[in-house]
Amino acid sequence: MFDRLEKTLERFQELNTLLSDPAVLADQKRYRELGRELRSLEPIVKAYKRYKKMRSDFAGAKEVLDTVSDLEMKELAREEYERLKGQIAELEEELKLLLVPQDPNDSKNFIMEIRAGTGGEEAALFAADLYRMYSRYAERKGWKVSLMDWNETGKGGFKEVIFSVEGEGAYGMMKFESGVHRVQRVPETEAQGRVHTSAASVVVLPEVEEVEVEINPSDLLIDTYRSGGKGGQNVNKVETAVRITHKPSGIVVACQQERSQFQNRERAMKMLRAKLYEAKLQEQTASTVAQRRSMIKSGDRSDKIRTYNFPQNRVTDHRIGLTLYNLDRIIEGELDGLIEQLRIADRTEKLQLQS
């Protein structure tokens, strides 16, 4: 472990030097790539420097214990020795977690799809709530949210909503949100005050570059149509919305947010690349993983990853057995605590697989 930490420290110092090189500054693509790598190494380097300082202090306390005869100084040194001994053990475990290889997609932007599942109009309203929750969380993080495509219901819900999010490390933070989300609450239309259960599915896709997925233009069928607004009203009198069908895979994507047909086409192509990239990854994974991913998209309430219980103000993530009683704040976009627990569980699982 310590050899890897030393090499990480050396690479961190090398990156700092490279980022001040005029040749690198002139190449903005390389500058961004190196900057992302530097930021990914920073938590490891900070923790390792703390560890080295702690080890030095620990050695000093031990030397006092071994060489000094003054009883009062010995007692102080013994307290310091025991305190540092525990902290060093904790920091070693933290360093092990930090050294777990990161997903290369973690630093990327992402595209999120939310679809209403079981529950009719209430499921569509819940899909809209999830969209607002994630949008507010993105705003808190300083990320940029861009709506891409949507299918509204008459009561303000979404049968489907697709949007992109741009921000440093955005996909790495949000990738664990993929799955079926279940809600338990009293719908506005429920006269008897009974709690209903509905579901919506969430899919998070990393945004990929053109070089990562090759698309043959002859494989594309491109249609244009008018963008729609609330109640099915056409908000544009010209056909600016774009729908692209990838004929070999049958994947269909659409974008209607921008006023320019060119911009909508560019956004739709981003979505298509992300979907083709995910399909390629699925082919490389085990059949059990591919099966789980297909279940995630079904929207069936039995395949849930999380339950939002409004009467009890409770959120339960079933994958890690975590229950929180702050749904009122989570639904307003305060997701940091929940997401951090999922990231810790993921790193711990990967560490166990490595050992």
Number of domains in the chain: 2
**Is the same domain home to 92 and 114?**
no
Write down how long the chain is.
355
**Is the same domain home to 145 and 117?**
yes
**Is the same domain home to 232 and 341?**
yes
Among the candidates 68, 98, 128, a domain finishes at 98
Residue 49 resides in a domain:
yes
Q: Other C-beta atoms within 10 Å of 183: how many?
A: 27
Residue 143 resides in a domain:
yes
Per-residue tens of pLDDT for the chain, all 355 residues: 888 899 989 999 999 999 999 998 998 888 888 888 888 889 889 999 999 999 999 999 899 888 888 888 889 999 999 999 999 998 988 888 788 777 778 888 999 999 999 888 999 999 999 999 999 999 999 999 999 888 898 888 999 999 999 998 899 999 999 999 999 999 876 767 789 999 999 999 998 876 677 788 898 899 888 776 543 444 445 578 889 999 998 999 998 877 788 888 888 898 898 888 888 777 665 443 443 444 334 444 346 899 999 999 999 999 999 999 999 999 999 999 999 999 888 888 877 766 5
Query: Tokens representing 300?
Result: 């069936």
Element (H, E) at 227: none
| Structural domain of 36 | 2-98
Place of tokens 């921000």: 167
Rounded to a whole number, what is the distance in angstroms from the first to the last CA of the chain? 12
Residue 104 resides in a domain:
no
**Is the same domain home to 93 and 115?**
no
**Is the same domain home to 117 and 93?**
no
Using an 8 Å Cβ cutoff, are 116 and 157 in contact? yes
Q: What does the alpha-carbon distance between residue 172 and residue 328 come to, in Å, rounded to a whole number?
A: 25
Residue 186 resides in a domain:
yes
Secondary structure string (H, E, C) spanning 151-176: EECCCCCEEEEEEEEECCCHHHHHHH
**Is the same domain home to 147 and 13?**
no
Q: In 99-211, where does DSSP find H-type helix?
A: 120-141, 170-174
Place of tokens 């949008």: 135
**Is the same domain home to 88 and 226?**
no
Per-residue confidence (pLDDT) for residue 354, from 0 to 100 = 62
Please name which of 8, 26, 158, 154 lies closest in space to residue 95, comparing C-alpha atoms: 8
Residue 105 resides in a domain:
no
Among the candidates 67, 98, 129, a domain finishes at 98
The domain that holds 41 is classified in CATH as 1.20.58
Strands (E), the chain: 110-116, 144-152, 158-166, 179-185, 196-206, 220-225, 241-246, 251-255, 304-309, 314-317, 322-324
pTM for the model stands at 0.69
Using an 8 Å Cβ cutoff, are 153 and 159 in contact? yes
The domain that holds 313 is classified in CATH as 3.30.70.1660
Q: What does the alpha-carbon distance between residue 288 and residue 67 come to, in Å, rounded to a whole number?
A: 61
**Is the same domain home to 173 and 195?**
yes
**Is the same domain home to 91 and 159?**
no
Using an 8 Å Cβ cutoff, are 113 and 134 in contact? no
Per-residue confidence (pLDDT) for residue 302, from 0 to 100 = 44
Element (H, E) at 318: none
Q: Which residues pair with 22 in a beta bridge?
A: none
**Is the same domain home to 146 and 79?**
no
Per-residue confidence (pLDDT) for residue 228, from 0 to 100 = 64
Residue 355 resides in a domain:
no
Residues 6+ apart with CB under 8 A from 255: 148, 149, 241, 242, 264, 265, 267, 268, 271
Among the candidates 40, 63, 98, a domain finishes at 98
Per-residue confidence (pLDDT) for residue 298, from 0 to 100 = 40
Strand order in the sheet with 158-166: 144-152, 158-166, 110-116, 196-206, 179-185, 304-309, 314-317, 322-324
**Is the same domain home to 272 and 323?**
yes
Per-residue confidence (pLDDT) for residue 169, from 0 to 100 = 87
Residue 145 resides in a domain:
yes
Q: What does the alpha-carbon distance between residue 137 and residue 171 come to, in Å, rounded to a whole number?
A: 13
Per-residue confidence (pLDDT) for residue 188, from 0 to 100 = 74
Per-residue confidence (pLDDT) for residue 285, from 0 to 100 = 58
Residue 103 resides in a domain:
no
Q: Which residues pair with 202 in a beta bridge?
A: 114, 179
**Is the same domain home to 64 and 161?**
no
